[in-house]
Amino acid sequence: MARLAVSDLRRGVSILQANPSDPPADVPAPAGFGLPYGLARIPDGRLLTADRSQSRIIACAEDGTNWESFGSQGAGVGQFQNPMGVAVSDEGRIFVADTGNFRIVAMDAFDGTGWQTYGQKIAAGSVGPGRFAGPACIQHGPGGLVVADPAAARIVQLAQLDDASWDVSSQGTFRNPAAVAVLPDGTIIVGDLTREGLSIMASPSGGITETILGDVLRYPAALAVTSADSLAAFFLPTLALCSVVRDASGWNVSLDARLDQVGIRRPTALCQLP
Amino acid sequence: MSASIRVLTYNVQMRSWAMEAGAQGSLTPYENVEDRAKLISKRVLGSEWDYDVLCFQEVFDEDGRDALISHLKGKYPFRVEKAQGDSVSTVCATLLGVAGYAATIPGGAALSIVAGVIGLILIPFSKFEDSGLMIFSRIPFDGIPVPAELQDIVGQDKIPIVAFVEYEDSVWDDSAASKGVLYAKLVQDGKAFHLLNSHTQADATDNVEAHKDIRRKQLNQAFDLIKTMTGNVEDAEILMCGDLNIDGMSHPTTGFRQEWTERFNTPGAPFTKVLHDSWMHEQSPGDVRLGMLTLPDWFDRGMTVHNQRLDYALRGRGPLNGRRAMQHMCIAYDIATDATNPTSYVSDHLPVRIDLDLDRPFASIATSEQINMPIGSGDKIFDGFLVEGQMHWICIKDPGGYAIDLTLGGPDVRMDIFTADNLSVPVKPFSIQDEGGPRQEKMTRFALPLAPFLIRIAHPSRRGERRYRVRVHRYAGTSRLDAIPLQRNVPFVAQAKVGAPHSLNDPSTPDFDEMDTVWFCAALDTELDGSLNANSTISINNSDMDAFGLLVVASKPGSTDLALLDKVDAGPAVVSQVGYDRPLNGYFLAQRRDPSFTAERFTITLKSNVSYLYGNPNNAGSRARTMARLFCRDETDGFLGSEAGSDDIQINVSVGGQLRVHIPNSDELEFDDDSFRDLPQINMVRYIDSAEFELVELDDLSPADRTSIQIPSFDMLANTDKVLEGIGASLTVQLSLVFNPAEDDDDDDDGVYDLQITVSCEPPP
């Protein structure tokens, strides 16, 4: 299995072992870390997570060194409100799901240079492009940024952070999409917390083309791409960590571990490590 | 040593973070398991009821489990901390019960004994969750001696006799948990006490009885375990408790559910013939017959969750061979609520206290001392001794106004009055205010117009012996001091002395002549600020010769002297209406116009246009029958049909446009489907005609974020299908609120809540 980092509301960020049933190694963190949501890696190799409770983002190495935080609570430049997702493009651009501000933040670097925001609060009669009810999980892929907005029950893909590229799933496609992953070929995989299994789509507006079901799959809560044709996922309420692999026969799911059995009881996100 | 055993059975709703996140559809679920575990522990340790054994269900969260163990291990050294298993567990039971001892169980299962902790079962499992069952006991577990040569290996000289059987059948989310029945053999005074704790298959709240066949198989498995472990079921002392997910309430219009009848009231069925449902069969106040499908309206139905009684004690039938008596089984409000922090919610179930002791005369409700107290029978004095946890129950069969006081006993003895429609919350006194008038000794007045009622004298502590004396005086209405307290809305059949005046004129009341009257009293209550136009209607229905008229008098402002408010001459229908804008002590004098003093009986009824909402039974100034609760049947839909997150609820209660109670949103008012929250903040609200109860959903971006209902007056609610429990002046009612009945994608209403609250016509004590 690929090396994985996992964020946990109690333990902070941990590194799962090659055998994920072995006890994980915690990434040392200063006191008062907060509540990590979302995981990604920035170009210098450090892990990136959003600290929801303290409205900031954090970067650090796997051994806890080079710890750095950016942002404060608010709605201005350099500020976040309970962020719940992070993503990094191949070019190294950092994206933050600024959940409580109903927007996406993009930065050229961790220090906030190139700060750009996109989006505002959804409202009755204003549900079109640029409107979010609480963007949570985000992933960057070949087609741009994919945003899960569970409070609006929809998935959005943005080739650029502008209304012109807004591509949204149709109403009723999802009820509570909380997790997304994008394979290198652009395939979007969505986990809906009120529906069993994983949904496959080529684009949000194209709708669901395939559904992956399996005995251990209940409500998918977090996804991480691990190769061109595979991803890792964990599910609620079982906290089953699974590998999901695409081959000629289709999608295959295997159970790798129970996260709660290795002390990960409140996981929120996964990320592949080199 | 005391024979008293006090058991708490409690579904503590400690689902794991992942279960909550899955159920709530959110990675930011509201969950406070550790805080609730600490609260429950604190309440258990602080309770005057000094529990011996705790049986918990639904402890799935490991942090919650750790918190319970951490806080309770000092008092409860004997514990089953975790039980989980598959078919291997049957082997475990067999080995322990029949083969002798087992340090290890075939198949890799192990019985682990951890430093000072006896009875930790750890068995490899194929389920995602364990059973959620825990037992804490300060009564030792019986053990099977370990041969000397093995004691170093086992690390203990005895193997505790504990067993766990996982139920073979389960469906739905339950199949992810290792649901089953946990057994422990306790020993007190050298005698075995077979304890079982179980949590059976659940149903959806909107599809009760859907899985009754599965529960039947599960209970059969439990009975097999009981037979295996006890050997002789008929003679053994057995207590099986837990959340059995079988609705045992007798519903007002439909009676018992078929499943309850099949399991617990069918001749030949194991849980009818050998063991029985203690709530229904050992709590009877005397005139409930086994086999009746419809119980009297006033019988306490024992609701432990939303409209259902799911939490049980099953025991052997009858106190044979030294088997203990069920002294009292009740909702343990000492654990469900906290007088110092009443808003702290702990579980969607209510805990049940099971109080057992040696069978003695009058030790239980069913065997209570039966007393008739006709008017003029004189005071009754009950003298006795209580030893280490014992109770004495007295059943008074005559309705009326009484003074009941514990005149000897000290702080270790408590005396409480219960009516048969509520065996958990004691009756509050008629008044705790100074009623004025001369008094030679303190007397606590109770209005008890519905009989039978029960007096419980208890010595909760297990230390020493206490002497007690209870005095019961029945008011005859011969004077102001002897006035009979009236409860509103309950017609009271009264009688006057025959052959002589019932009372004499008092020269100190020159405003009126009270010669030959029967005195009644009631607090005439209204808002202190005069904002309610209160009035009361007093009527006399003459059954004897149209002989009784009515004087209405009340205390003068700033004085205990009385003034005449109204006078109605005798006739077929005697009715007086009095209005008042300040609280008064009212007296109603039925005056006989019969010089021969032969007319004897009449019926007097007091009604008021003021109604009350009560929410907190633990408050001395409240007449709440149960805790007010809000239940979410269906949370509101968010934008574009999303159900992500929880409903953030805020509550307002208003009367005549004036806000009386505001409960701001907090973590404790986060709602998802099927979630409960207590509302003790609604201590008391007075109203006329209606009170508005409003829910505001704060985090929803939908415009349909408010809903409200007008709670009708007591008179309008009584005798409707809104009444869940109760009779007389205080009723538990259920009222529904719907946020958006018109728009919904699921063919269901959107955002549906049920409010359960006490509506009363009686003012606070």
A178/B contact by beta carbon, under 8 A? yes
B290/A contact by beta carbon, under 8 A? no
A132/B contact by beta carbon, under 8 A? no
* Residue of B31, B640, B667, B699 to mutate, interface with A, max A Cβ within 10 Å: B640
| Coil, strand or helix at B137 | strand
List, for residues A3-47, the tens digit of each pLDDT value: 999 999 999 999 999 999 999 999 999 888 889 999 999 999 999
Q: pLDDT-based confidence at B666, cuts 50/70/90?
A: confident
DSSP string, chain A: ---EEEEETTTEEEE--SSTTSPPEEPP--TT---EEEEEE-TTS-EEEEETTTTEEEEE-TTS-S-EEE-EESSSTTEESS--EEEE-TT--EEEEEGGGTEEEEESSTT-TT-EEE-EE-BTTB-STTEES----EEEETTEEEEEEGGGTEEEEESSSSGGGEEEPPTTS-S-EEEEEE-TT--EEEEETTSSSEEEESSGGG---EEE--TT-SEEEEEEEEETTEEEEEEETT-EEEEEEEETTEEEEEEEEEGGGGT--SEEEEEE--
Rounded Cα gap, residues B689 and B710, in angstroms: 9
Which range, A198-207, B104-113, B164-173, B619-628, is most confident? Answer: A198-207
Kindly tell me if the per-residue pLDDT of B324 is higher than 80: yes
Give the whole-number percent of chain B exceeding pLDDT 70: 87
* Structure token digits, residue B607: 């009604």
Smallest CA–CA distance from B19 into chain A, residue: A237
Higher pLDDT, B285 or B151: B151
Residues from chain A that touch B745, judged by Cβ atoms under 8 A, are: 172
Higher pLDDT, A248 or B344: A248
Kindly tell me if the per-residue pLDDT of B667 is higher than 90: no
Q: Do residue A150 and residue B63 have CB atoms under 8 angstroms apart?
A: no
Largest separation between any pair of C-alpha atoms in chain B? 96
Q: Of A153, A193, A265, which is closest to B26 when you measure between CB atoms?
A: A193
Rounded Cα gap, residues B80 and B459, in angstroms: 29
> Shortest Cα distance from B395 to chain A (angstroms)?
51
Residues from chain A that touch B26, judged by Cβ atoms under 8 A, are: 150, 176, 178, 193
- Asked whether the bond before A237 is cis by omega within 30 degrees of 0, the reply is yes
Rounded Cα gap, residues B26 and B32, in angstroms: 15
Smallest CA–CA distance from A263 into chain B, residue: B62
Give the whole-number percent of chain B exceeding pLDDT 90: 53
For range B260-267, the mean pLDDT: 91
Smallest CA–CA distance from B176 into chain A, residue: A238
Rounded Cα gap, residues B618 and B311, in angstroms: 21
Q: Do residue A266 and residue B17 have CB atoms under 8 angstroms apart?
A: yes
B122/A contact by beta carbon, under 8 A? no
A131/B contact by beta carbon, under 8 A? no
pLDDT at position B336: 92
Which residues numbered 8-47 in B keep a CB inside 8 Å of some CB on A?
15-19, 21-23, 25-28
* Residue of A35, A170, A195, A266 to mutate, interface with B, max B Cβ within 10 Å: A266
Higher pLDDT, B231 or B310: B310
Rounded Cα gap, residues B80 and B121, in angstroms: 7
pLDDT at position B210: 93
- By DSSP bridging, strand A12-15 and strand A25-26 are antiparallel
Rounded Cα gap, residues A15 and A274, in angstroms: 12
In B543-642, DSSP assigns E strands to 548-555, 562-568, 573-580, 584-592, 601-608, 610-614, 629-634
List, for residues B121-176, the tens digit of each pLDDT value: 333 335 678 899 999 999 999 888 878 887 777 667 777 888 888 898 887 777 77
Rounded Cα gap, residues B60 and B20, in angstroms: 11
- Asked whether the bond before B572 is cis by omega within 30 degrees of 0, the reply is no
By the 8 A CB rule, do A148 and A177 touch? yes
| Coil, strand or helix at B734 | strand
As for how many domains chain A has, the answer is: 1
Residues from chain B that touch A258, judged by Cβ atoms under 8 A, are: 128
For range B750-755, the mean pLDDT: 90
Give me the CATH number covering residue A178. 2.120.10.30
Residues from chain B that touch A178, judged by Cβ atoms under 8 A, are: 25-27, 644
Q: pLDDT-based confidence at B287, cuts 50/70/90?
A: very low
| Coil, strand or helix at B472 | strand
Q: What length is written for chain A?
A: 274
Kindly tell me if the per-residue pLDDT of B96 is higher than 50: no
Q: Do residue B701 and residue A260 have CB atoms under 8 angstroms apart?
A: no
Evaluate the CA torsion angle A191, A195, A200, A204 in order and state its sign. Answer: negative
Give, for B651, the enclosing helix (H) or strand (E). strand B647-655
Q: Do residue A178 and residue B27 have CB atoms under 8 angstroms apart?
A: yes
- By DSSP bridging, strand B134-137 and strand B117-122 are unpaired
Q: pLDDT-based confidence at B415, cuts 50/70/90?
A: very high
By the 8 A CB rule, do B236 and B193 touch? no
B709/A contact by beta carbon, under 8 A? no
As assigned by CATH, the class of the B369-474 domain is: mainly beta
Which range, B239-243, B428-432, B700-704, is most confident? Answer: B239-243
Which residues numbered 639-668 in B keep a CB inside 8 Å of some CB on A?
639-645
- For residue A176, which amino acid is it? N
Smallest CA–CA distance from B704 into chain A, residue: A124
A53/B contact by beta carbon, under 8 A? no
List the helix and strand counts (H, then E) for chain B: 11, 45
* Residue of A126, A154, A236 to mutate, interface with B, max B Cβ within 10 Å: A236
Kindly tell me if the per-residue pLDDT of A52 is higher than 60: yes
The DSSP call for residue B323 is P
Q: pLDDT-based confidence at B742, cuts 50/70/90?
A: low
By the 8 A CB rule, do B471 and B380 touch? yes
Q: pLDDT-based confidence at B101, cuts 50/70/90?
A: very low
Q: Do residue B644 and residue A122 have CB atoms under 8 angstroms apart?
A: no
A193/B contact by beta carbon, under 8 A? yes
Kindly tell me if the per-residue pLDDT of B556 is higher than 90: no
Which residues numbered 63-92 in A keep a CB inside 8 Å of some CB on B?
84
- Residue A163, beta-bridge partner list: none
Higher pLDDT, B557 or B514: B514
For range B79-104, the mean pLDDT: 46
How far out from the chain centre does Cα B753 lie? 22
The DSSP call for residue B173 is G
Residues from chain B that touch A265, judged by Cβ atoms under 8 A, are: 16-18, 62-63
By the 8 A CB rule, do B162 and B196 touch? no
By the 8 A CB rule, do A24 and A10 touch? no
List, for residues B464-512, the tens digit of each pLDDT value: 899 999 999 999 999 988 899 999 999 999 999 999 999 998 888 888 8
- Residue A91, beta-bridge partner list: none
For range B309-329, the mean pLDDT: 87
Residues from chain A that touch B28, judged by Cβ atoms under 8 A, are: 52, 84
Give the whole-number percent of chain A exceeding pLDDT 70: 99
CA distances (Å), B422 to each of B425, B453, B626, in order?
Answer: 6, 10, 9
Nearest 5°: CA angle at A91, between A85 and A94?
Answer: 25
Q: What is the CA radius of gyration of chain B?
A: 28
Q: Do residue B25 and residue A219 have CB atoms under 8 angstroms apart?
A: yes
pLDDT at position B441: 57
- Parse chain B into domains and list their residue ranges: 369-474, 484-608, 611-760
> Shortest Cα distance from B34 to chain A (angstroms)?
13
For range B730-736, the mean pLDDT: 94
pLDDT at position B289: 46
Rounded Cα gap, residues B190 and B137, in angstroms: 16
For range B709-735, the mean pLDDT: 92
Residue-averaged pLDDT of chain B? 85
B744/A contact by beta carbon, under 8 A? no
Residues from chain B that touch A172, judged by Cβ atoms under 8 A, are: 641, 745
- By DSSP bridging, strand B158-160 and strand A267-272 are unpaired
Q: Angle between the B62-72 and B33-46 helix axes, to the nearest 10 degrees?
A: 20
Residues from chain A that touch B639, judged by Cβ atoms under 8 A, are: 122, 127, 133, 151-153
pLDDT at position B297: 55
Rounded Cα gap, residues B243 and B64, in angstroms: 19
A37/B contact by beta carbon, under 8 A? yes
CATH number, domain B611-760, options 2.40.50.100, 2.60.40.1110, 2.30.30.100, 1.20.1440.230: 2.60.40.1110
* Structure token digits, residue B69: 């163990």
Kindly tell me if the per-residue pLDDT of B744 is higher than 70: no
Higher pLDDT, A257 or B645: A257
The size of the A-B interface in CB pairs under 8 A is: 106
Q: pLDDT-based confidence at B340, cuts 50/70/90?
A: confident
Smallest CA–CA distance from A258 into chain B, residue: B128
Nearest 5°: CA angle at B342, between B338 and B346?
Answer: 70
Give, for B18, the enclosing helix (H) or strand (E). helix B17-24
> Shortest Cα distance from B640 to chain A (angstroms)?
6
For range B599-626, the mean pLDDT: 92
Q: Of B17, B644, B702, which is closest to A176 when you measure between CB atoms?
A: B644
Q: What length is written for chain B?
A: 765
CA distances (Å), B761 to each of B45, B618, B619, in order?
Answer: 37, 19, 17
> Shortest Cα distance from A178 to chain B (angstroms)?
8
CB neighbourhood size of A150 (10 A): 31
Kindly tell me if the per-residue pLDDT of B205 is higher than 60: yes
Contacts with B580 (C-beta within 8 Å, 6 or more apart), sequence order: B524, B526, B534, B535, B536, B554
Q: Do residue B21 and residue A124 have CB atoms under 8 angstroms apart?
A: no
- By DSSP bridging, strand A267-272 and strand A4-8 are antiparallel
Q: Of B22, B27, B644, which is closest to A268 when you measure between CB atoms?
A: B27
* Structure token digits, residue B349: 């179930």
Residues from chain B that touch A260, judged by Cβ atoms under 8 A, are: 16, 18, 62
CB neighbour burial string for B219-256, b if at least 16 within 10 angstroms, e if fewer: bebbbebbebbbeebeebbbbbbbbbbbbbbbeeeeeb
Kindly tell me if the per-residue pLDDT of B116 is higher than 70: no
Residue A148 sits in which domain range?
Answer: 4-272
Nearest 5°: CA angle at A266, between B72 and A157?
Answer: 160
pLDDT at position A164: 96
By the 8 A CB rule, do B726 and B619 touch? no
A52/B contact by beta carbon, under 8 A? yes
pLDDT at position B93: 34
pLDDT at position A134: 93
Nearest 5°: CA angle at B559, between B556 and B565?
Answer: 15
Q: pLDDT-based confidence at B296, cuts 50/70/90?
A: low
| Coil, strand or helix at B72 | helix
Q: pLDDT-based confidence at A155, cuts 50/70/90?
A: very high
Kindly tell me if the per-residue pLDDT of B318 is higher than 70: no
Find tokens 């017959």 and name the residue. B289
Rounded Cα gap, residues B335 and B219, in angstroms: 28
CB neighbourhood size of B80 (10 A): 28
pLDDT at position B343: 72
Provide the CATH topology of domain B484-608: Jelly Rolls (2.60.120)
Q: Of B15, B17, B645, which is closest to A151 when you measure between CB atoms?
A: B645
Euclidean distance between the first and final Cα of chain B, in Å? Answer: 40
Least confident of B309-313, B563-567, B610-614: B563-567
